[in-house]
Amino acid sequence: MRSAAGERMPLRGAPAARADPAPQHLRPLEAEYRPRTPVDVVAAIRYQQRGRHDPTQTTATDGTIWRATRTPDGVATTAIRVGLQTVRAAAWGPGAAWSLDQLPRLCGDGDDPAGFDASRHPLIAEAHRRRPGLRIGATDLVFDALASSVFEQKVTGLQAFGAWRWIVSHYGEPAPGPTPRPMFATPAEWRMIPSWAWHRAGLEPPQSRTVVAAARRRASIERAATAATTGDERDAVFTSLPGVGIWTSAETRIRAFGDPDAVSFGDYHVAHEVGYALTGKRVDDDGMRELLEPWRGHRQRVIRLIGVSGVHEPRRGPRLHPEDHRNR
């Protein structure tokens, strides 16, 4: 196996046989990945986590990132250790090999910033200078990205993350391997989750109906979205589903494909943050579209750089208190 930079390589030098060897199904596959250029791998992977208590992803006290995923080959648990120049990973379960092969893209290997001109605005130039390794990672798990985005439609992050945690923990598949806490891959059959469970999780009926309806067309959605070559083509695939609009499509493109140009138009906060960072005042979606147009092809990259710049619009009022309709 070649060892050029930017490639995933199996680890060599397994320990000598022990008196109590681990059972075959508990032995992980191991690999390492060496990015071609310095990359902020931790930030790229952590973006995929859905709240502090996400049952599909967590970071252990020693810094290891643990992920439980339902890959095309089955469930996998992946433990990722990020070093100065090398990313080492171990994976368990039937989807272990797929997970390790996909690792470079998760770390941002598929994101090419060539052609990005940060000098168009001093804030973006400074953020890019301080975070040159910022990359947008991809999971290549289309339906999981779509489902998690639907969960986040028109609710607070607290509500969405809580509903995601409840559904995945109760209907997902336990993660194989020595996870630091109980973890779960996403459900195999979203269509089989009963209506009362969605209500118990706190997800609104429009969102649960959208997930279930999309699950019925899962294979065709994944096939068409993966075959598409542009953001517009993927938007057409996702928004053909009832209940999926341009915001949900953009969020899915970012998570599944690492799309550096996707913009979540319709988001309550994004336009305000972009406007304040670039002009010192709020703008609406049309204003944000105009401000970001010079960076077309890298608009999500600009939004990420604004997010790490430290410049944020001052809060104008109390936080929105989430409503709970489950006992009504």
Residue 161 domain-assigned (yes or no)? yes
Q: How far apart are CA 54 and CA 76, in angstroms?
A: 16
Residue 238 domain-assigned (yes or no): yes
Quick one: pLDDT at residue 3? 37
**What distance in Å separates the CA atoms of residue 126 and residue 309, rounded to the nearest whole number?**
8
| Mean pLDDT of the 177-206 span | 95
| Residue 134 pLDDT exceeds 90 | yes
Q: Please give the model's pTM, rounded to 2 decimal places.
A: 0.88
CA distance 25 to 279: 56
Rounded to the nearest integer, the mean pLDDT of the chain is 90
Structure tokens at 12: 């060599």
With cut-offs at 50, 70 and 90, classify the pLDDT of residue 15.
Answer: very low
Q: Could you tell me if residue 135 is inside a domain?
A: no
pLDDT digit string, tens, across residues 84-97:
899 999 999 999 99
pLDDT of residue 19: 37
Average pLDDT over residues 48-64: 96
Number of domains in the chain: 1
Q: Is residue 23 part of a domain?
A: no
Task: Output 323 or 256, whichever has higher pLDDT.
Answer: 256
Q: Is residue 324 part of a domain?
A: no
pLDDT at position 286 is: 97
Strand ranges (E), 34-137: 57-59, 65-71, 74-82, 87-92
Residue 316 lies in a domain: no
Q: What is the mean pLDDT of residues 136-161?
A: 94
Helices and strands (DSSP H and E) totals, the chain: 13, 8
CATH code for position 218: 1.10.340.30
The predicted pLDDT at position 158 comes to 86
pLDDT at 17: 33
- Specify the pairing of strand 87-92 against strand 173-174: unpaired
> pLDDT at residue 257 above 90?
yes
Q: What is the pLDDT of residue 103?
A: 98
Q: CB-based contacts of 173: which residues, under 8 Å, 6+ apart?
A: 70, 75, 184, 185, 187, 188
- Whole domain around residue 266: which residue ranges? 142-178+187-308
Residue 222 lies in a domain: yes
Q: How far apart are CA 59 and CA 48, in angstroms?
A: 12
Does 117 fall in a domain? no
pLDDT at 6: 53
Q: 217-245, pLDDT tens digit by residue?
A: 999 999 999 999 999 999 999 999 999 99
Q: What is the pLDDT of residue 154?
A: 80
Percent of all residues in the chain with a pLDDT value above 90, rounded to a whole number:
83
Q: CA-CA distances (angstroms) from residue 242 to 203, 214, 217, 286?
A: 17, 8, 11, 24
